[in-house]
């Protein structure tokens, strides 16, 4: 049974996608070093988070979703290495009672909680942007993160974004040295610095890791977010479920089409900056007083002014240019998906032009490519498990054969050891029983 379990609970928009990408990309190498990355599929972690937060949407999902947390706990208990890591950012919203029940399921292990945090001024437009990907139509200037009182389902509110509140709930029953605050560095000079701080928190010291995974949660620029907001207002109820919104608004339009436009950074209103500054100042004081283990600098989460316009300052001409480019990329995406579908149906190559295929790959890398990589990784891990089982089965066969020969030596009279009929019977027994 594993000794230590690190539960990385968020916060969202604090580099969690990057960190999870490193963990996933290096799953095999970490496993060989005794570190289990818990959860074969990201969807299992999503469902486990819903179980912990008692999300009523679980009732509309298959029974396997409702048992996701139990499966993750079983995976931890079955691991024979010294360390297991569970990472899912929306665990941050769980209530104190829900946290207590979840940690009780891990009784017998030395549990540590890891909380990643960032400049809270930057967290505000990032959280608003994530809400846009699920149909929000409220302008940024009129929006603010929901308060803690909104409850565990307020995924993009202060309940999940404020590290002090998250630490107070998740660390309530733990010694302060087992609550780790990992701050996202302000400077992007070294893009791997966040991983180094996280690795220090979870005691990972494994050479040769790939620290530049392909999986990214790409941000949109100020023009692109305003365009997406207006599209949401236009489509209205046509994408009514979270599943449809995730597929069409988030994965297709936002990630695959608008994110590659490399837009301008989003600014804040003075009132939003003031609120974020007050929140970050209080959070830093609370975290220091609690005496948690800090990896990085708590000043990294202090709200700072963000250069950039707010979406309301975007001109219609800029929106038109972005929309034209988006329509063009959507047409290319539709065309190349149609060609690929027809090619698969026909069982041959339809002669798509390499340059246009390259452009299509760029457009769809946030959707199809990621899905294919995950499927490939799962198949590879399945093959590895089957090969291991096959080797174990062969070793068992060899052992049974050796035991059979030993029994023959012990049980058969000496004068029958060389008898051809007896040896033929033994050979038939081996072949039929093995």
Distance CA 152, CA 154 (A): 6
Q: What is the dihedral of CA 186, 190, 194, 195, to 10 degrees?
A: 180
- At residue 361, φ and ψ (nearest 5 deg) are -60, -40
For 368, the 3-state DSSP assignment is helix
Mean pLDDT for the stretch of residues 371-390 = 60
Q: Which of the listed residues 257, 285, 308 is the one where a domain comes to its end?
A: 308
Q: Which of the listed residues 308, 329, 358 is the one where a domain comes to its end?
A: 308
* pLDDT, position 343: 85
For 19, the 3-state DSSP assignment is helix
Nearest residue to 124 (alpha-carbon basis) of 255, 277, 17: 277
pLDDT in tens, 1-53: 789 999 999 999 999 999 999 999 999 999 999 999 999 999 999 999 999 99
Sheet holding 83-87, edge to edge: 35-37, 83-87, 4-8, 110-117, 179-183, 293-295
- Which residues partner with 91 through β-bridges? none
Q: Do residues 303 and 409 share a domain?
A: no
Q: Do residues 405 and 286 share a domain?
A: no
Residue 351 Cα distances to 110, 142, 334, 348, angstroms = 57, 50, 16, 9
Query: 229 with 143: CB under 8 angstroms?
Result: no
Distance CA 300, CA 258 (A): 29
HSE at residue 18, side-chain half, CA atoms within 13 A, is 19
Report yes or no on 315 lying in a domain: no
Here the tokens at position 170 are 């998740």
Q: Do residues 160 and 279 share a domain?
A: yes
* pLDDT, position 427: 64
Report yes or no on 299 lying in a domain: yes
Mean pLDDT for the stretch of residues 64-76 = 96
Distance, CA of 150 to chain centre = 24
Report yes or no on 74 lying in a domain: yes
Query: 113 with 298: CB under 8 angstroms?
Result: no
Distance CA 34, CA 231 (A): 48
Mean pLDDT for the stretch of residues 340-368 = 57
pLDDT in tens, 155-207: 889 999 999 999 999 999 999 999 999 999 987 778 899 999 999 999 999 99
Q: Do residues 175 and 45 share a domain?
A: yes
Here the tokens at position 321 are 């240019």
pLDDT in tens, 305-336: 988 999 999 999 999 999 999 999 999 988 98
Q: Do residues 399 and 285 share a domain?
A: no
- Which residues partner with 6 through β-bridges? 85, 112
Report yes or no on 249 lying in a domain: no
Q: Do residues 298 and 392 share a domain?
A: no
**Cβ partners under 8 Å of residue 308, min gap 6:** 222, 264, 265, 266, 267
Mean pLDDT for the stretch of residues 96-102 = 97
pLDDT in tens, 114-129: 999 999 999 999 999 9
Distance CA 98, CA 207 (A): 37
Domain count for the chain, please give it: 2
Q: Do residues 393 and 288 share a domain?
A: no
Q: Do residues 101 and 213 share a domain?
A: yes
Distance CA 378, CA 84 (A): 19
**Local confidence band at 429 (pLDDT 50, 70, 90 cut-offs):** low
For 213, the 3-state DSSP assignment is coil
DSSP-derived secondary structure for 388-432? HHHHHHHHHHHHHHHHHHHHHHHHS-GGGTT-HHHHHHHHHHHHH
Mean pLDDT for the stretch of residues 51-76 = 94
Q: Do residues 86 and 203 share a domain?
A: yes
Nearest residue to 160 (alpha-carbon basis) of 130, 136, 195: 130
Report yes or no on 110 lying in a domain: yes
HSE at residue 264, side-chain half, CA atoms within 13 A, is 15
DSSP tag of 41: S
Element (H, E) at 126: helix 120-132
Mean pLDDT computed over every residue of the chain: 86
Domain that holds residue 21: 1-217+270-308
Query: 266 with 221: CB under 8 angstroms?
Result: yes
pLDDT in tens, 239-294: 888 889 999 999 999 999 999 998 899 999 999 999 999 999 999 999 999 999 99
What region does 385 belong to: left with phi over 0, alpha with psi -120 to 50, or beta?
alpha
Report yes or no on 297 lying in a domain: yes
Distance CA 402, CA 23 (A): 43
* pLDDT, position 365: 47
Query: 259 with 219: CB under 8 angstroms?
Result: yes
User: What's the CATH code of the domain at 158?
Assistant: 3.40.50.300
Q: Which of the listed residues 308, 333, 355 is the one where a domain comes to its end?
A: 308
Report yes or no on 293 lying in a domain: yes
Indicate whether 409 pLDDT > 60. Answer: no
Percent of the chain with pLDDT over 90: 66
**Local confidence band at 419 (pLDDT 50, 70, 90 cut-offs):** low
Q: Do residues 69 and 184 share a domain?
A: yes
Work out the angle between the directed axes of helices 42-52 and 68-78 (0-180°, nearest 10).
110
Indicate whether 65 pLDDT > 70. Answer: yes
* pLDDT, position 353: 47
Q: Do residues 64 and 162 share a domain?
A: yes
Q: Do residues 288 and 420 share a domain?
A: no
**Cβ partners under 8 Å of residue 178, min gap 6:** 110, 111, 112, 113, 171, 293
* pLDDT, position 307: 87
Report yes or no on 327 lying in a domain: no
- Which residues partner with 179 through β-bridges? 113
Signed CA dihedral, 144, 145, 150, 153: sign only: positive
């Amino acid at each position: 049974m594993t000794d230590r379990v690190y539960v990385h609970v968020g916060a969202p928009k604090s580099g969690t996608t990057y960190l999870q990408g490193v963990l996933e990309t290096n799953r095999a190498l970490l496993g060989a070093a005794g570190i289990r990355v818990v959860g074969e599929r990201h969807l299992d972690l999503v469902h486990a988070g819903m179980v912990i937060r008692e999300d009523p949407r679980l009732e509309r999902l298959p029974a396997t979703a409702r048992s996701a947390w139990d499966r993750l706990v079983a995976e931890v208990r079955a691991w024979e290495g010294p360390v297991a890591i569970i990472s899912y950012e929306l665990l941050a919203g769980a209530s104190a009672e829900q946290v207590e029940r979840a940690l009780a399921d891990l009784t017998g292990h030395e549990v540590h909680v890891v909380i990643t945090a960032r400049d809270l001024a930057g967290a505000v437009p990032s959280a608003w942007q994530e809400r846009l990907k699920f149909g929000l139509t409220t302008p940024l200037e009129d929006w603010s993160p929901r308060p803690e009182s909104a409850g565990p389902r307020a995924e993009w509110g202060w309940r999940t974004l404020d590290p002090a509140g998250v630490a107070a709930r998740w660390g309530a029953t733990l010694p302060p040295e087992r609550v780790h605050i990992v701050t996202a560095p302000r400077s992007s000079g070294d893009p791997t610095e966040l991983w180094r701080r996280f690795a220090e928190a979870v005691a990972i010291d494994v050479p040769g890791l790939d620290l530049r995974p392909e999986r990214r949660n790409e941000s949109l620029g100020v023009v692109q977010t305003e365009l997406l907001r207006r599209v949401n207002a236009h489509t209205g109820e046509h994408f009514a479920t979270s599943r449809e919104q995730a597929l069409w608004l988030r994965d297709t339009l936002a990630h695959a089409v608008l994110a590659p436009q490399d837009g301008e950074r989003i600014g804040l209103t003075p009132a939003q900056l003031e609120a974020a500054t007050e929140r970050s100042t209080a959070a830093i004081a609370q975290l220091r007083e609690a005496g948690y283990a800090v990896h990085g600098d708590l000043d990294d989460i202090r709200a700072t002014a963000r250069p950039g316009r707010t979406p309301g300052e975007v001109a219609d001409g800029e929106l038109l240019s972005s929309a034209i480019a988006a329509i063009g990329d959507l047409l290319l995406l539709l065309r190349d998906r149609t060609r690929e579908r027809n090619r698969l149906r026909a069982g041959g190559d339809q002669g798509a032009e390499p340059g246009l295929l390259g452009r299509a790959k760029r457009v769809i890398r946030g959707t199809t490519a990621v899905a294919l990589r995950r499927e490939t990784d799962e198949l590879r891990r399945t093959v590895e498990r089957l090969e291991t089982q096959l080797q174990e089965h062969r070793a068992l066969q060899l052992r049974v054969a050796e035991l059979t020969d030993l029994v023959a030596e012990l049980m058969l009279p000496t004068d029958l050891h060389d008898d051809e009929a007896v040896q033929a019977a033994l050979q038939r027994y081996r072949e039929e029983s093995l």
